[in-house]
Amino acid sequence: MTALSLRDVRKNFGATEIIRGVTLDIAPGERHCIIGPNGAGKTTCFNLISGRFPITSGEILLNGERIDTMPPHKINRMGLSRSFQITSIFQRMSVFENLRCALLWSRSYRYSFWSPLWRQKALNEAAEVLLEDLNLTARRDILAGLLSYAEQRALEIGMTIAGGASVVLLDEPTAGMSNTETDYAMALIRRVTHGKTLLMVEHDMKVVFDLADTITVLVYGQVIASGSPVDVRANRAVQEAYLGALEE
Amino acid sequence: MKSRWLILVLIVLAIALPWFFYDWGHHRHAGFLLSMLSQMGMMVILALSYNMLLGQAGLFSLCHATFFGIGGYAAIHLLNAAGTGDLPFPMEVMPLLAGLAGLALAILFGAMATKQRATAFAMITLGIGELMATAALMFHHFFGGEGGVTTNRMIENSLFGLTYSSGLQVYYLILAWTTLAAVLMYYLTLTPLGRMANATRDNFERAQFIGYDPRIVRFLQFALSGFFAGIGGGLYAITYEIVTFDALAAPLSANALLMAYIGGTTVFGGPILGAILITLLQSGVSLLSNSWLVYVGVMFIAMVIFAPTGLAGIVKAHGPIKHAGRMGSLLVPYLRLVIPSLGLLLGFIGLVELMSFLTIGAAQGKKLVLFGGSIDVNATLPWAISLGSFLLGGLWLRFEAAGFHRVWENLSAEVRR
Ligand SMILES: Nc1ncnc2c1ncn2[C@@H]1O[C@H](COP(=O)(O)OP(=O)(O)OP(=O)(O)O)[C@@H](O)[C@H]1O
Ligand SMILES: [Mg+2]
């Protein structure tokens, strides 16, 4: 069974069809990268999978179950978590609180208004470990909105994987980072997504060809190629539509 | 750690204060003081529970008095039932029952309102407030129309054998419930729901992608805040033995907002400060001046413009500087603000009072008395002095404030390093 499947997924915004029949199968544990030019519909795909927008037609399955009519929080509880291209964190809460909030639901605290958080030892330890993992321990009590850009991106990734989702979607996690920051972020991503299914949108070709088991090329809302890095690199259509233009 | 001491001092002070003004000659408590302190207690609950919405959940509600009021009406009817012996509950739990009435109504209205966001939410709560105010005038059986409903709080049923015939006993009941409610509300901020309320305030959408339905978070927060407001209303009913339409109408909702905002919505204790300050103004300044609402209004506007984090926010902003032991460097800059501020303030008060006595005061046949002499409000001199003081103070303050700002910025930058 696949971890995540899209079957002829389409999405219209008004009269324009932005996603024009995408079919995709991602095996459990696979590291899958989506590449494509600006405006191809990569983020829109993520928005459809994660339930942020309803799809116009088609089917999306998570571990064999239909999720395309579910609201985002239900999809998240089923084990799919996503990050945002434009950093989306809790600005006026501390870094530690951000991570602890991201841990809450998966540790079945639900809407509890009776458990005192300071006494939840396992929860607090998990948040500290996560801080350590993200190299944010020194910034523990700072408001998230005051972190540097790269630190906010790290926090974004941390919040995405905190809940222990088995399928992780990362939308351009390294965009806007310097080379060293990118290297650091990629090492982090490798570490924290170990053993999980990873679907990632990325513009940095070096990163993509380094990390991916499978690459899908999306152009104007359609998949024009999908396969191993070697196959995709050799693909004529890809070279013409995308890679060529990029690498020259 | 330090704030814990502050709270302890505040509570001890609240217990002891009536005795400082005890009239040993007549063996009487100062009635004015007791009623003011009692009022403060209720307002502290109202403001704190309002901040569960505004400050903690980012919910801009315009109907908070609805839940305060319903708690009040419920308490009146419960007290009446208890007075005739139909209800076997002691006085001390009445505020809890009033809270449950607030909770029930907040569940009903919260289910409607919290599905909406931002402006739509505010609009719906405005509608709810108006609806309830109209209902209070329409349904006489429960609300008693314009005259309201009355009770007698001496129900002769108390856990501690108290009669509540004296204002002091009532005040201590209020103090106990205010403390309990404040502690519970603080506790709530340290639970998963409390934290997720902050999270949905900061980023409604992101909360969904960590597994939470933000609408349920808001709904629960709204319901619980209604519960606490209801407790405040119950205390109101016990104190005044009458509840009218005023206890749930829009002006009180606005007051809740004012107190929370002026005190500071970003710090838990902020609204306590605001409630105390506004009540002081309300009971103190209103005796001295017809125009006290003008002062509250201007203070509110000034806060929104110059100090949007409120009084508690201003105090909190000094934290890093104090931590670095540099408070001394602020002493002179602060002192330099005093005289121009006083000039501006006195000038403004002078103008407002002159205006007020020229119109309302004249109609009531009152005279403006200052420093023992009466002042002719039609003469030019008082107007000229007030205006001059206002303008000069204002200009001078602008100049000094710029200097203060520079010092503050430099110091903050220094401390950050
Ligand atoms: N909510 C929306 N309403 C209308 N049009 C939208 C919406 N979201 C995206 N689009 C359009 O859909 C197209 C695809 O956008 P999308 O953000 O998915 O591209 P992308 O592949 O992620 O691009 P980038 O590499 O720049 O992030 C764009 O033309 C965009 O304008
Ligand atoms: Mg995108």
* Residue from the list B190, B199, B205 with its beta carbon closest to the beta carbon of A117: B190
Q: In DSSP terms, which residues pair with B124 in a beta bridge?
A: none
A37: left (phi over 0), alpha (psi -120 to 50) or beta: beta
- SS3 of A12, please? strand
By Cβ distance, the residue of B202, B213, B217 closest to A93 is: B202
Helix (H, G, I), strand (E, B) or coil at B291: coil
In this structure, the number of other CB atoms found within 10 A of the CB of residue B339 comes to 13
Q: Where are any strands of DSSP class E within chain A?
A: 4-13, 16-26, 31-35, 57-62, 65-66, 80-82, 167-171, 197-201, 214-219, 222-227
Please tell me the distance between residue A44's alpha carbon and the centre of ligand 1 in angstroms: 6
| Cross-chain CB nearest to B211 (options A76, A114, A116) | A76
Nearest residue of chain A to residue B185 (CA atoms): A113
Question: Strand pairing of A80-82 and A167-171?
Answer: parallel
Nearest to A23 by CA among A67, A59, A70, A77: A59
DSSP conformation letters of A61-86: EETTEE-TTS-HHHHHHTTEEE--SS
B416 touches chain A (CB under 8 A): no
Contact between residue B295 and residue B348 where contact means Cβ atoms under 8 Å apart: no
- At A248 the pLDDT is 41
Task: Choose, out of A92, A101, A105, A141, the residue to mutate when testing the contact with B (most B CBs < 10 Å).
Answer: A101
> Which residue of chain B has the CA closest to A47?
B209
Q: If you take atom 5 of ligand 1, which residue's CA is the nearest one?
A: A13
Residues of chain A found within 8 Å of residue B209, distances taken between Cβ atoms: 50, 72-73, 76, 81-82, 88, 160
By a Cβ cutoff of 8 Å, what residues of chain A touch chain B? Answer: 50, 52, 71-73, 76-77, 81-82, 84, 88-93, 97, 100-102, 104-106, 109-118, 159-160, 162-163
Helix axes A149-162, A95-104, angle to 10 degrees: 20
Tell me: the pLDDT tens digits for A2-29? 999 999 999 999 999 999 999 999 999 9
Q: What's the confidence (pLDDT) of residue A170?
A: 97
Cα(B332) to ligand 2 centroid in Å equals 53
Measured in angstroms, how far is the CA atom of residue A13 from the centroid of ligand 1? 10
Q: How far is B77 from chain A (nearest CA, A)?
A: 30
Give the number of the atom of ligand 1 that is nearest the alpha carbon of residue A45.
Answer: 18
C-beta atoms of B220 and A109 within 8 A = no
Calpha distance B178→B184 (Å, rounded): 10
Tokens (6 digits) for A213: 């088991």
How many CA atoms lie within 13 Å of B12's alpha carbon, on the beta-carbon side?
A: 6
Indicate the pairing of strand A65-66 with strand A222-227.
Answer: unpaired
Backbone angles phi, psi at B131, to 5 degrees: -60, -45
Q: What is the radius of gyration, based on Cα positions, of chain A?
A: 18
Angle at alpha carbon of residue B136, lines to B131 and B142, rounded to 5°: 130
What gap in Å lies between CA B76 and CA B88, rounded to an integer? 15
Distance CA A133, CA A160 (A): 13
Residue of A nearest to B208 (CA): A73
CA A37 to ligand 2 center in whole angstroms: 9
Angle at the Cα of B76 from the Cα atoms of B71 and B79, rounded to 5 degrees: 115
Tell me the pairing of strands A167-171 and A197-201. parallel
Nearest CA in chain A to B205: A88
**What residues does each domain of chain A span?**
4-247
Say whether A159 and B210 touch across the interface (CB within 8 A).
yes
Q: What's the pLDDT score for residue B27? A: 74
Q: B199 vs A163: CB contact, 8 Å cut-off?
A: no
Q: What share of chain B is helix, strand, coil (3-state, %, to 5)?
A: 75, 5, 20
Cα separation values, A201 from A68, A105, A158, A170, B40, Å: 20, 26, 17, 6, 57
Please give the distance, rounded to the nearest whole angstrom, from the Cα atom of residue A53 to the centre of ligand 1.
12
Lining ligand 1 with CB less than 6 A are: A 13, 18, 36, 38-44, 85
Of how many residues is chain B composed? 417
Q: Whose alpha carbon is nearest atom 30 of ligand 1?
A: A39
Q: A111 and B202 in contact by Cβ < 8 A?
A: no
**With the C-alpha atoms ordered B18, B68, B219, B316, is the resulting torsion angle positive or negative?**
negative
End-to-end CA, chain A: 40
Q: Does residue A14 come out as left (phi exceeding 0), alpha (psi in the -120 to 50 range) or beta?
A: left
Alpha helices in B21-117 (DSSP H): 31-57, 64-83, 94-113
* Cβ-Cβ contacts under 8 Å for B368 (sequence gap 6 or more): B353, B354, B357, B361, B374, B375, B377
Q: What angle do CA A23, A26, A29 make, to 5 degrees?
A: 175
Q: Are strands A31-35 and A214-219 parallel, antiparallel or unpaired?
A: parallel
Give the global pTM: 0.94
Instruction: State the nearest Cα–Cα gap between B207 and chain A, in angstroms.
Output: 8
CB within 8 Å: A100 and B188: no
What is the residue whose two structure tokens read 């619980």? B224
For A4-247, give the CATH class.
alpha beta
**Domain assignments of chain B as residue spans, ordered by start:** 30-308, 318-416
Residue B219 buriedness (CB in 10 A; 0-12 / 13-18 / 19+): buried
- The 10 Å CB-count burial string (b at 16+, else e) for A211-245 is bbebbbbbbebebbbbeebeebbebeebbebbbee
Most B CBs within 10 A among A107, A109, A113, A171, hence the mutation to make, goes to: A113
Contact between residue A98 and residue A159 where contact means Cβ atoms under 8 Å apart: yes
Neighbours of A175 (CB within 10 A): 14
pLDDT bracket for residue A177 (50, 70, 90): confident
The whole-angstrom separation of Cα A93 and Cα B216 is: 20
Using an 8 Å CB-CB cutoff, list chain B residues near A111: 192-193, 196, 212, 216-217, 220
Atom of ligand 1 nearest to the CA of A46: 18
Q: Does B224 touch chain A (CB under 8 A)?
A: yes
pLDDT of residue B117: 87
Name the token pair of B134.
Answer: 């109209």
Q: Which candidate in A90, A123, A142 is best for mutational testing of the B interface (most B CBs within 10 A)? A: A90
**Contacts A100 to B, Cβ<8 Å:** 195
How far is Cα A201 from Cα A93, in angstroms, rounded to an integer? 28
Q: How many contiguous H segments (helices) and E segments (strands) does chain B have?
A: 19, 4
pLDDT in tens, A20-62: 999 999 999 999 999 999 999 999 999 999 999 999 999 999 9
Q: How far apart are CA B175 and CA B193, in angstroms?
A: 27
Report residue A52 as tokens.
């942020």
Torsion region of A110: left, alpha or beta (phi above 0 gives left; psi -120 to 50 gives alpha): left
What are the CB-based long-range contacts (under 8 Å, 24+) for A15-23? A17/A56, A17/A221, A18/A44, A18/A221, A19/A44, A19/A45, A19/A48, A19/A55, A19/A56, A19/A221, A20/A220, A20/A221, A20/A222, A21/A58, A21/A221, A21/A222, A22/A58, A22/A218, A22/A221, A22/A222, A22/A223, A23/A223
Averaged pLDDT, groups of 10, chain B, 417 residues long: 78 89 76 92 98 97 98 97 91 97 98 93 97 93 92 90 90 97 97 98 97 97 98 98 95 96 95 95 80 88 92 92 89 92 93 85 71 76 92 94 93 86
Confidence of residue A244 (pLDDT cuts 50, 70, 90): low
Regarding beta strands B149-150 and B242-243, do their DSSP bridges make them parallel or antiparallel, or are they unpaired?
antiparallel
Q: Tell me A109's DSSP state.
A: -
